[in-house]
Chains A and B, each alone.
Chain A
Amino acid sequence: MLEFKQIQKSFQTVQGEQVLFSGLDLAIQKNEFVTMVGNNGAGKSSLFKMIVGDMQPDGGDVLLGNHSILSMPTHLKKARIGKVYQDPAAGTIGIMTLLENMALADRKGERVSLQFAIRKSARERYGELLKDLGLGLENKLDTPMKELSGGQRQAVALVMATMKTPQLLLLDEHTAALDPKTARLILDKTQTLVTEKGIMTMMVTHNLQDALSYGNRLIMMREGKIVEDAQGRTRDQLSLSHLLEQFYTA
């Protein structure tokens, strides 16, 4: 379970103090795939930053699996979290080959050692994992990542982020930089992976239709508050027009 408890956060701006969160509470359960929408500045990214440690709240606590993670060293925290960024280049190592990238992801959370990085039979195993994507990546294992297309890189980043089944998966507009067809493919793959492995997931998106079509819980934020939180049947009955209406209510 991921829990935000009584989160307080304000920023100093030229207009004086700007309050973003004044006691935000949010709990996300295992097996939940939450899609998060809201305009810029609503607080979605800030929540992500507080989870990975790029931002500290002024008050309150963030708990992952019943333990506060606010004071945990960033790299230890990240060992338990998978993240896919908007920029396809951000989630993989461009100068290393696809095989080498997969080998690194395969050792996520392990103590760094002097064992050879690529295990026996790794090639076959990674090939199988990549084959599922249907992008022909299993034949490009020796290609440097930077020579792959944005969509291919993002697909690999997704596979890498979920390879060692993280406690929490954060998707930060991870399809925003892709063409519609590739975006759909990545989203479908995301849904399959997350459901199969039962990974607790938060996905920020600006595409309201995607937010409705994927995942099993929808949260809409505005000015640091949760204005819509729908799951189960309620969510099934949500319509795009209703969401749009909500979205444009200031």
Chain B
Amino acid sequence: MDFLSLLEQGLIFGIMAVGIVISFRILNFPDLSVDGSFALGAAVSASVLINGGSAILATLAAIIAGFAAGSATGLIHAKGKVDGILSGILVMIGLYSVNLRIMGKSNIPLFAVNHLFASKEGSLLKIVLIVAAVKIVIDLFLRTHAGFVLRALGDNTKVVEGLGVNPGNYKVLGLGLANGLVALSGGLMSQYQGFADISMGIGSLVTGLASIILGESLLKRFGFIGVTTIAIVGSVIYRVILAMAIHYGLQPSDLKLVTALILLVILILEKKMGGKYARV
């Protein structure tokens, strides 16, 4: 097993898990648009790159596109009064077509263009710096007035409204933020693996949830550890588990089933042990 690349991949997917923590845990919103916005990040970043844009521009464009996608889910739910799960599904399905439009074809190779990880040299350092920046920014944000409003929203909308805050607007903001991170993760992953593919996002939500729940069940017992750390560490551990599954003879195509089963087992175990962390 190549532990370095497992760590790198785990960290990149960790950014996605941080995004999912914001929607599922902080906002308490079952946002299913994640699969679409992960691929959207990859699509946008790849198409900027092959059109001559810089790696920085490509990565920023991915974040903005993801933010827009998440906001769309939020708007459909908050202003259109559509059920939360359905809002996410609508955006996810719609994004499949959007992503194909952006990419023009179902796969864009990035071997010929210069991007963040064009040379494998120093890739770990770059990834660590990006992940650390994301973690610090989100941790600080959650301590601001706006961050408090998002946290409060996930628990009691009435109280938030009572503070004179329009709850819908902040749901939109929170989902935008969450999907911005998911798309950032997708954009980085496409550069890391050297191609963007239309099917990249499939299963990313379940992967992210599995990482978070894994992180929670392993880390929560050590007292107070922030949600961002839980997401990132959980994501790395999760990669190692998948690699072990392959090492012991499973095919890469089996991994989605493995992910689903891992998530199922953790959920059932947690419910049996008091259901403390298994809030999905």
Asked whether A76 and B159 contact (CB < 8 A) given A96-B148, A96-B152, A104-B152, the answer is no
- Are A109 and B148 closer than 8 Å at their CB atoms? no
- Is there an interface contact between A79 and B156, defined as CB atoms closer than 8 Å? no
Task: From B148, B164, B166, name the one whose CB has the most chain A CB atoms within 10 angstroms.
Answer: B164
Given the complex, which residues of A lie within 8 Å of B154, measured CB to CB? 95
Known: A104-B148, A115-B144, A115-B145. A90 touches B156 (CB 8 A): yes
Interface pair A114/B141, CB less than 8 Å apart: yes
What residues of B have a CB within 8 angstroms of the CB of A74 in the complex? Answer: 161
Chain A nearest CB from B216 CB (Å) reads 14
Separation of A78 and B174 alpha carbons in the complex (Å): 22
Which residues on B sit within 8 Å (CB–CB) of A79?
163-164
B144 touches A116 (CB 8 A): yes
Across the interface, do A105 and B151 meet the contact criterion of CB distance under 8 Å?
no
| A93-B151, A96-B152 as given contacts; A113 in contact with B163, CB under 8 Å | no
Question: Can you list 23 pairs linking A and B with CB atoms under 8 Å apart?
Answer: A75-B165, A76-B164, A78-B164, A80-B164, A81-B162, A83-B162, A94-B155, A94-B156, A95-B151, A95-B155, A96-B148, A96-B151, A103-B148, A104-B148, A104-B149, A104-B152, A108-B163, A108-B164, A115-B144, A115-B145, A116-B144, A117-B143, A117-B147
Task: Determine if B155 and A93 form an interchain contact, defined as CB atoms under 8 angstroms apart.
Answer: yes
Are A113's CB and B145's CB within 8 A? Answer: yes
A91 located at the interface, meaning its Cβ lies under 8 Å from any Cβ of chain B in the complex: yes
A93-B159, A107-B163, A108-B163 known, 8 other contacts, Cβ within 8 Å: A94-B156, A96-B155, A104-B163, A105-B163, A110-B164, A114-B145, A115-B144, A117-B148
- Contacts A79-B164, A94-B156, A95-B154 given; indicate if A113 touches B148 (C-beta within 8 A): no
Q: How far is the CA of A49 from the CA of B163 in the complex (A)?
A: 17
Q: Which residues of A contact B (CB under 8 A)?
A: 73-76, 78-83, 89-96, 100, 103-105, 107-110, 112-118, 161
Kindly provide the distance from the CB of A135 to the nearest chain B CB, expressed in whole angstroms.
20
Chain A residues with CB below 8 A from B155, complex form: 93-96
Chain A neighbourhood of B215, CB < 8 A: none
Mark each residue of chain B from 129 to 155: 1 if its CB lies under 8 Å from any CB of chain A, else 0: 000000000000101111111011011
Bound CA–CA A91/B162 (angstroms): 9
A157 to B234 Cα, complex, angstroms: 36
**Which B residues are in CB contact (< 8 Å) with A109?**
163-164
User: Does B158 belong to the interface (CB within 8 Å)?
Assistant: yes
Roughly how many angstroms separate A79 CA and B145 CA in the complex, as a whole number?
16
Shortest CB-to-CB span from A107 to chain B, Å, is 6
Taking a contact as CB atoms under 8 Å apart, the answer to whether B161 and A78 are in contact is yes
Q: Tell which of B141, B143, B156, B158 has the most Cβ of chain A within 10 Å.
A: B156
B38 CB within 8 Å of chain A: no
Contact B145 A93 (CB under 8 A): no
Whether B19 is near chain A, meaning CB under 8 Å from some CB there, is: no
- Contact in complex: B147, A75 (CB < 8 Å): no
- Complex Cα distance, B164 from A110, in Å, reads 8
A93-B152, A104-B148 are contacts. A116–B164 as well, Cβ < 8 Å? Answer: no
User: What residues of B have a CB within 8 angstroms of the CB of A107 in the complex?
Assistant: 145, 163
B192 within 8 Å of A (CB atoms): no
- Chain B residue numbers with a CB within 8 Å of A78 are 161-164
Nearest residue (CB) in B for A113 is B145
Q: Does B14 contact A (CB under 8 A)?
A: no
Q: Check if B24 is an interface residue, CB within 8 A of chain A.
A: no
Contact at A113–B144, with CB atoms within 8 Å? yes
Which among B146, B159, B166 is the interface contact of A114 at CB below 8 angstroms? B146
Q: Which of A82, A93, A105 is within 8 Å of B156, CB to CB?
A: A93
CB distance from A81 to the nearest CB of B (A): 8
Is B170 part of the binding interface, using a Cβ–Cβ cutoff of 8 Å?
yes
Whether a CB of chain A sits under 8 angstroms from the CB of B180 is no
Q: How far is the CB of A147 from chain B (nearest CB, A)?
A: 14
A246 to B159, CA, bound (A): 36
How distant is the Cα of A83 from the Cα of B167 in the complex, in angstroms? 17
Closest Cβ–Cβ distance, residue B260 to chain A (whole Å): 28
Give Cα A76–Cα B169 distance, bound, in whole angstroms: 13
Tell me the minimal C-beta distance from A143 to chain B in angstroms.
13
In the complex, are the beta carbons of B165 and A112 less than 8 A apart?
Answer: yes
Give the nearest-CB partner of A89 in chain B: B156
Taking a contact as CB atoms under 8 Å apart, the answer to whether B144 and A114 are in contact is yes
Closest 10 CB pairs of A and B: A79-B164, A117-B148, A109-B164, A75-B166, A93-B152, A108-B163, A117-B145, A114-B144, A78-B162, A95-B155
Nearest Cβ on chain A to B205's Cβ, whole angstroms: 23
